[in-house]
């Protein structure tokens, strides 16, 4: 929202009499239709601005594409592996079906 150092932003907002609180978050996930935006090691602040909560989030950002259920079923059928194993492998390989099938068949 403002950019910069969260501690400096917090001090500035307190000077403007804005009610601010920090949230001890471990991870923030923003889900969109196409992908998930994952923020690891986040610093999260909530500011009350004119009666609305405004969130300031900073941290290490990465993106992931959610796995498609049809792809999960296909890989399960091809490898005989359980759903959790297949989902983890597809996430690890960024939904590369052929590579997931190959790697899971090797680990029989």
Fold observed for domain 69-106: Helicase, Ruva Protein; domain 3 (1.10.8)
DSSP 8-state secondary structure symbol assigned to residue 34: S
Residue range 22-31, pLDDT digits in tens: 899 999 999 9
DSSP 8-state secondary structure symbol assigned to residue 51: T
Closest CA to 86 of 76, 96, 94, 99: 76
Does this model's pTM top 0.85? My answer is: no
Task: Domain 6-64: state its class.
Answer: mainly beta
Residue range 84-96, pLDDT digits in tens: 999 999 988 888 9
Q: In the chain, which residues fall in CATH 1.10.8?
A: 69-106
């Amino acid at each position: 929202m403002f950019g910069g150092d969260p501690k400096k932003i917090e001090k500035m907002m307190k000077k403007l009499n804005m009610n601010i609180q920090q949230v001890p978050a471990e991870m923030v996930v923003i889900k969109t239709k196409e992908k998930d935006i994952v923020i690891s090691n986040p610093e999260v602040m909530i500011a009350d601005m004119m009666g609305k909560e405004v969130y300031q989030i900073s941290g290490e950002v990465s993106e992931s594409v959610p796995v498609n259920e049809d792809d999960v079923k296909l890989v399960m059928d091809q490898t005989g592996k359980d759903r959790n194993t297949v989902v983890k492998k597809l996430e690890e390989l960024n939904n590369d079906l052929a590579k997931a099938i190959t790697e899971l068949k090797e680990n029989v």
